[in-house]
Amino acid sequence: MIRGAGGEVIEDSRRKSNMIRGAGGEVIEDSRRKSNMIRGAGGKVIEDSRRKSNMIRGAGNVIEVSRRKSNMIRGAGGEVIEDSRRKSNMIRGAGGEVIEDSKRKNNMIRGAGKVIEDSRRKSNMIRGAGKVIEDSRRKNNMIRGAGKVIEDSRRKNNMIRGAGKVIEDSRRKNNMIRGAGGEVIEDSRRKSNMIRGAGGEVIEDSRRKSNMIRGAGGKVI
């Protein structure tokens, strides 16, 4: 988890996970005690009719989909989009255009970007101003902004580097990208290396499943 300055760590009663409460946030325990939620100032708790989950509404409007699989929260001005296969409803922000991909697996929402169809037709992507990158193994296409493409040594995946430095972890499972000033953190179980932004503090949760990074605005990469 990422705790901002002044945030308080919350351990739920079932000790499945720790949560972070921002200043003024109120912890909400739902009736089924499956999860605790954090309500920001003024947010109203919404219990859906099927009692599968509770949601937190800020100033948005609650949307109930026609198939009653899930309720969504629509921000001001957002329009609800129902796709043709009625698998899911999506929320389109003002000005976004709905894109239906050729395989009709999913609909996407395009802002001002251009739709990109990859060569293997597994998925369509949305390109803003970036350049499309086709990796050597043709597993997936990536979108590059101004960054430089990085091919890792094991050729499992290509990464996109902005101004950061490429970090190769000791186990050579994956390469990471460190932003300027970031420090590499190796957790105690050596499952993964993490990147701590300047001033960030490492948080170890009680179950020792993972270490987390808390910073004053530090970005986790």
Nearest to 27 by CA among 5, 12, 6: 12
Q: Give tens-digit pLDDT for 131-167.
A: 554 544 444 554 444 445 545 444 445 444 444 455 4
Domain ranges of the chain: 1-58, 116-162, 163-221
**pLDDT over 50 (residue 129):** no
Q: Give tens-digit pLDDT for 60-81.
A: 455 454 444 455 444 444 455 4
Q: How far apart are CA 179 and CA 196, in angstroms?
A: 9
Mean pLDDT of all residues belonging to the chain:
47
* More confidently predicted of 5 and 13: 13
pLDDT at 114: 53
Query: What phi and psi, each to the nearest 5 degrees, are found at residue 18?
Result: -105, 145
Q: Give tens-digit pLDDT for 169-208.
A: 444 445 444 444 445 544 444 445 554 444 444 444 443 4
